[in-house]
C-alpha cells in the first residue's frame, strides 16, 4: 500500500520535474505514513525546513536500495542489465521508485524457476554470443575488465584514432570551432614585446629568422612578429624571457632592456591582423606613397 502511494506521489513530482531530493523526501515519508496514516494530504504542507530535516534518513534508505541491487547483480550475473539499472538510478532519479518495483518483480520471477525461465535462457544465449564475439572463454567484467592490458589496448586505440584524425584535418579544413580549440593556453609559448628602432621592425623579424634558423640553430624562440600598424615594437614567441634575450642579442635594432610578456588573452589580437589589408577595386582612387 505504502509503495503504491509513493508511486502516485512520485508521478506528481515527475510533473514538476522534481530533483533527486524530492524523491528522497517521499521515500522517508513512506515510513512516516506507515506509522501515522494520512500521507498525501499533508504533502503540500511540508515546509522546506522539514524536508531538509528528513533528508538525512533518505540517504540511508538510498544506500539500502543500492545494496539490494548488488544482490540482484550477484544473482543474475548479468552485468549489462545491472549497469543499465545503475545508470538510470543516477541519471533519472525521479523514476527510481518505479524501477524498484520492477526490480523486485524480477527477483520473484527468477526465484520461481531458475533455468526454465525463457528470459534467463535467452540471456544465456546472449552470453554465449558475447563469449564468441570476445574470443574469450569467459565474459570480462565491464568494470573490472582485463586489467592493465586492456586499458593499454584502449589507450593505444584512442591514440591511434586521434593521431589519424589529426592528420586528416589538414590546416585547410578547419572550422571556427576547431580554431577556438587552438586558443592559447598556459602550455603554449608566450609572446614577448621587444622594443625596436622605428621603421626597422620587418627587418628585425627577418634578421631573427636568419639568425635563429640558419646562423645559430639551437635558439629557442619559435617565431617573431612585426605588425605593420605597430611601430617601435616587435613580438617574439618563446617559452622564457631568457630565450628572447638570447635571440635578440647582437641585433642592434632591438632593445632588450625592457621585454614585456603579452597576456594570454591578448595573444590572439596580436596575430589576427586587424583588417588593414587593402581591397583594390577598379576605378578606385588611391593615394600614392612611394611613387610609380
Partner 1 sequence: MSNVAQIPTSFGHELRACLRCRLVKTYDQFRESGCENCQFFNMDKDHEMVGECTTSNFTGIISVMDPTRSWAARWLRIGRFVPGCYTLAVSETLSGELQGICEEHNIPYVPPKRS
Positions that interact with partner 1 (CB under 8 A): 170-174, 179, 182, 184, 188-189, 191, 201-203, 205-206, 208-210, 212-214, 217, 219, 221-229, 237, 267-268, 270-273, 275-280, 290
Q: How many CB atoms lie within 10 A of CB 191?
A: 24
Please identify, using beta-carbon distances, which residue of 121 and 273 lies nearer to partner 1: 273
C-alpha cell of 177? 570551432
Please identify, using beta-carbon distances, which residue of 166 and 283 lies nearer to partner 1: 166
Minimum CB separation of residue 217 from partner 1 in Å reads: 6
Handedness of CA 80, 86, 91, 94 (dihedral sign): positive
Closest CA relative to residue 195, chosen from 240, 238, 254, 271: 254
Please identify, using beta-carbon distances, which residue of 88 and 189 lies nearer to partner 1: 189
Minimum CB separation of residue 198 from partner 1 in Å reads: 14
C-alpha cell of 134? 570476445
Please identify, using beta-carbon distances, which residue of 154 and 174 lies nearer to partner 1: 174
Please identify, using beta-carbon distances, which residue of 38 and 217 lies nearer to partner 1: 217
Spatial distance between the Cα atoms of 278 and 179, rounded to a whole number of angstroms: 25
Please identify, using beta-carbon distances, which residue of 174 and 242 lies nearer to partner 1: 174
Minimum CB separation of residue 250 from partner 1 in Å reads: 16
Spatial distance between the Cα atoms of 119 and 178, rounded to a whole number of angstroms: 48
Minimum CB separation of residue 86 from partner 1 in Å reads: 42
Closest CA relative to residue 198, chosen from 270, 255, 152, 153: 255
Handedness of CA 58, 64, 69, 72 (dihedral sign): negative
Minimum CB separation of residue 159 from partner 1 in Å reads: 18
Spatial distance between the Cα atoms of 238 and 245, rounded to a whole number of angstroms: 10
Minimum CB separation of residue 158 from partner 1 in Å reads: 22
Q: Could you tell me which residues come within 8 angstroms of residue 117 by beta carbon, excluding any fewer than 6 positions away?
A: 109, 110
Amino acid at each position: 500500500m505504502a509503495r503504491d502511494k509513493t508511486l502516485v506521489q512520485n508521478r506528481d513530482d515527475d510533473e514538476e520535474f522534481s530533483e533527486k531530493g524530492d524523491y528522497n523526501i517521499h521515500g522517508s515519508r513512506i515510513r512516516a505514513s506507515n506509522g501515522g496514516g494520512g500521507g498525501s494530504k499533508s504533502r503540500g504542507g511540508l515546509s522546506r525546513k522539514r524536508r531538509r530535516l528528513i533528508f538525512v534518513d533518505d540517504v540511508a534508505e538510498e544506500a539500502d536500495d543500492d545494496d539490494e541491487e548488488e544482490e540482484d547483480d550477484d544473482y543474475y550475473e548479468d552485468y549489462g542489465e545491472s549497469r543499465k539499472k545503475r545508470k538510470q538510478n543516477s541519471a533519472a532519479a525521479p523514476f527510481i521508485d518505479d524501477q524498484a518495483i520492477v526490480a523486485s518483480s524480477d527477483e520473484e520471477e527468477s526465484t520461481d524457476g531458475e533455468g526454465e525461465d525463457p528470459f534467463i535462457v535467452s540471456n544465456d544465449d546472449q552470453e554465449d554470443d558475447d563469449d564468441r564475439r570476445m574470443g574469450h572463454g569467459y565474459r570480462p567484467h565491464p568494470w573490472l575488465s582485463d586489467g592493465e592490458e586492456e586499458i593499454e589496448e584502449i589507450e593505444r586505440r584512442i591514440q591511434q584514432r586521434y593521431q589519424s584524425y589529426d592528420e586528416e584535418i589538414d590546416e585547410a579544413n578547419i572550422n571556427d570551432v576547431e580554431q577556438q580549440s587552438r586558443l592559447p593556453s598556459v602550455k603554449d609559448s608566450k609572446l614577448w614585446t621587444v622594443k625596436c628602432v622605428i621603421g626597422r621592425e620587418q627587418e628585425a623579424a627577418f634578421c631573427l629568422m636568419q639568425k635563429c634558423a640558419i646562423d645559430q640553430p639551437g635558439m629557442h624562440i619559435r617565431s617573431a612578429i612585426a605588425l605593420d600598424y605597430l611601430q617601435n615594437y616587435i613580438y617574439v614567441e618563446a617559452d622564457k624571457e631568457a630565450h628572447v634575450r638570447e635571440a635578440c642579442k647582437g641585433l642592434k635594432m632591438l632593445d632588450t632592456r625592457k621585454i614585456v610578456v603579452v597576456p594570454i588573452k591578448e595573444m590572439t589580437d596580436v596575430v589576427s591582423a586587424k583588417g588593414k589589408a587593402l581591397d583594390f577595386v577598379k576605378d578606385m582612387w588611391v593615394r600614392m606613397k612611394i611613387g610609380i
